[in-house]
Amino acid sequence: MLKISIVDNRTQRRLVLEGRLVAPWVAELRTAWRSAKADCDGRELVIDMENVMVVSEEAENTLMQMMNEGARFRCSGVLTRYVLQQLKRRCKRDSLQPDTDQRGQK
């Protein structure tokens, strides 16, 4: 189970995630992210993962997509900190590689 709460203040909108970030709740996160991003009114959008206990591979892909779209993250546990560090490395690595087609040609 995953609980997604939205906490708003004058400068920031925060999506607070609690529980297990696995299917089918990854789709719910995508929906909440799109909605929060569209209605941010210039505020910073932060994904708070301090209370996430499990992160699936599908969730990692979604989090990486969110990173690429400018999401900021807040975390405190060993698991979430490690997952986010690995995703940041993947984002950097992917952005440094040239675009290629399926046969590996430019």
Name the residue ranges covered by the structural domains of the chain: 2-96
pLDDT of amino acid 52: 94
CB 35 within 8 A of CB 54: no
List per-residue pLDDT tens for the chain, 106 residues long: 999 999 999 999 999 999 999 999 999 999 999 999 998 888 999 999 999 999 999 999 999 999 998 899 999 889 899 999 999 998 888 777 665 555 555 5
pLDDT of amino acid 92: 81
pLDDT of amino acid 51: 94
pLDDT of amino acid 55: 94
Out of 3.40.1440.60, 3.40.50.2020, 3.30.750.24, 3.10.20.30, the CATH code matching 2-96 is 3.30.750.24
pLDDT of amino acid 75: 92
pTM for this predicted structure: 0.82
Please report how the helices 57-68 and 78-96 are oriented relative to each other, as an axis angle in degrees rounded to 10. 60
pLDDT of amino acid 63: 95
